[in-house]
Amino acid sequence: MSEIKTKQLRELVEAAFPELDTVIGWEAGYDALHTTPVFIKDAKDIGKLVWNPLCVRNLSGYLVKTPPVQSADENKKIGIFVKGCDSRSIVALIQEKFITRDKLYIFGVPCQGTIDWRRVMKAAPLKNIQSVKMDEKQLVVEDADGTHSFALEDVLARKCLRCAYPNPLMYDVLVGEPVAPRVTVKNAYKDVQELENRSLEERLAFWTKELDRCIRCYACRNACPLCVCQDRCIAETREPKWLSQYMHTSEKFLFHFIHSMHLAGRCTECGECERVCPMGIPVTLMKEELNKITRELLNYEAGVDPNAVPPLLTFSPNETGI
Ligand code: SF4
Ligand code: SF4
Ligand code: SF4
């Protein structure tokens, strides 16, 4: 299945390549269990592109993070591969006018889930990985100790198990047929609901235990396509000084409160912040909570409608729903 899609996507890139400056996609990584982003500038490299459930990285951040990938030739576009969740980041960036649609050629990939290697390693501590095979139901890894099979559901990323948008919402060409979503938008917040069902004391204990592990490396911020303050981030400014260098839990809470509030009604739940956290902290969960509240109060969901105005970019003295 993945091989067929990889062949198809290379053909689609080849057909569009004359109007493209660069194509941002995925290629094989340092071992068979990983892929890595690739920037194709020369048609002879199109054969490097791959698609499979190991293509975890949301590539849209490359369009806005410093330095952004831009076309040197104004008549050419940037080609980019997006899964359903990634396409919402593109829509949100267009909504906030960080990028324009006419400069992009979007290759949309319907997606049935991506693999969380941490869940794989937790299930079996693999070493010297030799080969990886996948079908719609399982992942089979061969390593120095032999063959290990994992049910896909047991090793998919948490965001994939609650994914309501597996099909790209914006694209120029679709690679393969649309797939059925796992859940509806309405029941995509069961993890948040589970947390909300606990008492305030239990929730405080949960987040204290989680955030106490935070080493303030800011990988979560750096990986987020919508975290765009860059050098002006409150984590680094000294005028005004919001955060000290102390590693107290209170400082960690403050960083995450501000970080999450800046993403309220903007976060598209792409899960990049959670994926890159070296301490395994479920940081997307905080943004999910704020998104759930935004949906309930303002009937708004980020990254779905390119013409909608995000609530924090608008203001009404007679706000309804609050
Ligand atoms: S969240 Fe949805 S679109 Fe994104 S990787 Fe998971 S299944 Fe695919
Ligand atoms: S990536 Fe993890 S450890 Fe690093 S700042 Fe974010 S939450 Fe903290
Ligand atoms: S906060 Fe996390 S889940 Fe939300 S858009 Fe940023 S990286 Fe994606």
pLDDT tens profile 177-190: 999 999 998 889 99
**Quick one: which ligand is closest to 253's CA?**
2
Q: Is 53 in the pocket of ligand 1 (CB under 6 A)?
A: no
Distance 306 CA to ligand 1 centre (A): 20
Q: Whose CA is closest to atom 5 on ligand 3?
A: 267
Q: What is the pLDDT of residue 155?
A: 96
Question: Residue 283 pLDDT > 80, yes or no?
Answer: yes
pLDDT tens profile 142-198: 999 999 999 999 999 999 999 999 999 999 999 999 999 999 988 899 999 999 999
Mean pLDDT of 219-234: 90
Distance 57 CA to ligand 3 centre (A): 12
Q: Is 263 in the pocket of ligand 3 (CB under 6 A)?
A: yes
Instruction: Tell me, rounded to whole angstroms, the distance of Cα 213 from its chain centroid.
Output: 22
Identify which of 55, 60, 85, 86 to mutate to test ligand 1's pocket (most ligand atoms within 8 A of the CB): 85
- In terms of phi and psi (left: phi > 0; alpha: psi -120 to 50; beta: otherwise), the region of 236 is alpha
Mean pLDDT of 261-277: 95
pTM for the model: 0.94
Q: Is 227 in the pocket of ligand 2 (CB under 6 A)?
A: no
Residue 314 burial by Cβ neighbours in a 10 Å radius (0-12, 13-18, 19+):
exposed
Q: Whose CA is closest to atom 6 on ligand 3?
A: 224
Distance 31 CA to ligand 3 centre (A): 26
Please state, in angstroms and rounded to a whole number, the distance separating the CA atoms of residues 36 and 198.
39
